[in-house]
Amino acid sequence: MAGRFRWGIVGPGNIARKFGTGVLLSETSEVAVVGSRDLGRSETFCAEFGGRAVGSYDEVLGAEDVDGVYIATPHHLHAELTIAAAKAGKNVLCEKPCALRAEDAARAIEACQAAGVLFCEAYLYRTHPLTAQVMGVVHSGKLGVIRHIAAEFAFGAADDWQNVRTVLEYGGGGLMDVGVYPVSYAMMVFGGEPKRVSYLFEKSESGYDGWASGSMIFDGGRTVSFGCGIHVQMENRVRIYGTHGMLDVSRPWDCTEGFRVKSHGSDDWEEIEGIKADRFGNEVDVFVRSLDQGFVASMTPDDSLAVIRTLDRLRIYGGLDFPGDP
């Protein structure tokens, strides 16, 4: 495209600040308009990252000088904001999870397709070159046939944490905040959707999953065990086990370290240096460079739908009900 891609940012909180840094480091983009429910917060954001501050999300969606919107609010607002952005003719990069339920994600993605705008769910690891490197080893056959994946993502906030991530009606708890990562990673490696799933946890007082153990089985007996949570720190690795060898990714989510590979029968790990890239700047550039083809190859709308259908199934298994579920 001619000129820099002009981003509108909705919900200038924690992750939007990192995104703003990424836009500044990107080769393709600039911050154009930033919307908060509080104009002062937009102004503070714009003082650091540029752009014009407005005091509502609607003003961002309606702005003529915005080519695409980055939706960085809590989970429960993602689907409806995506639909509103699509109706306003804006391309959409939406934070994960793209909705609380598959039916809402489907409506959001249909709205983007009807409007002819690009939709991508912002799983940073998917667009990062480190993940393509890992997938290169998986596809090389070096590990043999992949039979099992063990993965986790969890952090240890206090049990009485006062945060939007603990509000059940907003999709609070471990699965929707961080469990989405190991689930979507395993689905990327195995391809397709699992045949069966399980998800076990004890409900918090307000009904969310503070920490949990999940499993999935795919065609051919290929299995996944995963952990996630917001009240216990885990190691946060991905391990991929094949018939010939294993692969261990120490920082699969922020992609800041390389990974290692070992053949069965050998004690020696081969260290593989990871390709370095600013994760947010890279995500921004990948999104903009995908505009012409209409989808981001490493995280397509179909990928998003498959992941959220699986999240629905995991929630049903575990009894993780959000107010408003059908």
Ligand X SMILES: NC(=O)c1ccc[n+]([C@@H]2O[C@H](COP(=O)([O-])OP(=O)(O)OC[C@H]3O[C@@H](n4cnc5c(N)ncnc54)[C@H](OP(=O)(O)O)[C@@H]3O)[C@@H](O)[C@H]2O)c1
Shortest Å distance, C-beta 79 to ligand X: 11
Smallest gap from Cβ 38 to ligand X, in A, equals 5
CB of 245 to ligand X, least distance (A): 29
What is the three-state SS of the chain? CCCCEEEEEECCCHHHHHHHHHHHHCCCEEEEEEECCCHHHHHHHHHHHCCEEECCHHHHHHCCCCCEEEECCCHHHHHHHHHHHHHCCCEEEECCCCCCCHHHHHHHHHHHHHHCCCEEECCHHHHCHHHHHHHHHHHHCCCCCEEEEEEEEECECCCCCCCHHHCHHHCCCHHHHHHHHHHHHHHHHHCCCCCEEEEECCECCCCCECEEEEEEEEHHHEEEEEEEECECCCCCCEEEEECCEEEEECCCCCCCCCEEEEECCCCCCEEECCCCCCHHHHHHHHHHHCCCCCCCCCCCHHHHHHHHHHHHHHHHHHCCCCCCCC
User: Does 124 sit near ligand X (CB under 6 A)?
Assistant: yes
Residue from the set 4, 6, 13, 251 that interacts with ligand X by CB under 6 A:
13
User: In terms of CB distance, is 57 or 241 closer to ligand X?
Assistant: 57
Binding residue count for ligand X, defined by CB under 6 A: 21
Which of 8, 74, 194, 242: binder of ligand X (CB under 6 A)?
74
Q: How far is the CB of 22 from ligand X (least distance, A)?
A: 11
Among 7, 8, 9, 11, binds ligand X (CB under 6 A): 11
92 touches ligand X by CB under 6 A: no
Q: In this chain, which of 8, 54, 68, 75 binds ligand X, going by CB under 6 A? A: 75
38 binding ligand X? (CB under 6 A): yes
Residue 157 lies near ligand X (rule: CB under 6 A):
no
Q: Does 122 bind ligand X (CB under 6 A)?
A: yes
x/- track of binding to ligand X for residues 188-207 (CB under 6 A): --------------------
37 is an interface residue for ligand X by CB under 6 A: yes
Q: Which residues bind ligand X (CB under 6 A)?
A: 11-16, 36-38, 41, 72-75, 77, 95-96, 122, 124, 164, 177
